[in-house]
Amino acid sequence: MSSNGDIVAVNTTRRALVSSCGIGTLALLAGCLGGSDGSDGDDTETPDETLSPGGTDNETGGTRPRGTGGPGVTIVSRDGDPDAPVRPTVEVTEEAATEEHPPVLTATVTNESDRAVTIGEGRDVVFAYRSDTDDQLILLPTDGDYPAEAGCWRLAEQIAVTEEYRMVTLEPGESTSQELGLYALPGEDACLPVGEYRFESSYAVMDEPDGERQNSFTWGFSVLLE
């Protein structure tokens, strides 16, 4: 994970340009951010080898009761590389939920071109505050403090984030990364739900210094909790 700089919820390796669109401090429930838009990306999914996670067998029809320990996470597929100057990817950092932390993923975007580019939205491109397409799970930056019971990792209430459009500028070869805890959204009286879940996010890529839009695409991946 890159750690040479910060822009609030998104870490950049060198410099970041943050801009605001609309009214600065409108609140938007994070659970509503799980949808996606944009359609110009490569829709091909690349299956990954499924490892055997360290969770126990599920005997509750899809969720684990409180006190029985958390499931493990694996990435079962990633979309193909987009036809764009940047390449997104995601990896598992902490496979199993414990009393100390939920499962942890790291999302990274790398500028593979020979010129500087600006990408947005800055939180979306590293899947910060993104929920899955079924609104069961949410990815939250690991440096935050959230209302969830340790070991269970289901949020007690929705997380509100400011409604603004942040931009991240990457020099050639630079990356921006974010470590993300995997939490269950408020709802059932249960912990992390087992099963397969898909996350998607939209990307806008602009050339520097004129800021003219060059590419937009959607990229995503699927995880398995068991």
Using one digit for the tens of pLDDT, what is the confidence trace for 138-149? 999 999 999 999
Pairing state between β 175-184 and 5-7: unpaired
Cα-trace Rg, the chain: 17
Residue type, position 91, single letter: E
Residue 16: both structure tokens together:
């970041």
CA–CA separation, 153 and 18 (whole Å): 31
pLDDT tens-digit map of 149-185: 999 999 999 999 888 999 999 999 999 999 999 999 9
* DSSP string of 182-225, one letter each residue: EEEPS-SSSSSBPEEEEEEEEEEEEETTT--EEEEEEEEEEEEE
pLDDT greater at residue 50 or residue 47:
47
Q: How many CB atoms lie within 10 A of CB 225?
A: 25
Spell out the residues 6+ positions from residue 123 whose beta carbon is closer than 8 angstroms to its own: 9, 10, 129, 161, 166
The mean per-residue pLDDT over the stretch 124-131 comes to 98
Q: Which residues contact 74 (CB under 8 A, 6 or more apart)?
A: 48, 50, 51, 53, 92, 95, 223, 224
**pLDDT for residue 31:** 37
Q: Is 126 helix (H, G, I), strand (E, B) or coil?
A: helix
Give the pTM.
0.71
Domain residue spans of the chain? 5-37+83-190+203-216
CA distance 202 to 35: 9
Q: Give the model confidence (pLDDT) of 31-40 as tens digits.
A: 333 444 444 4
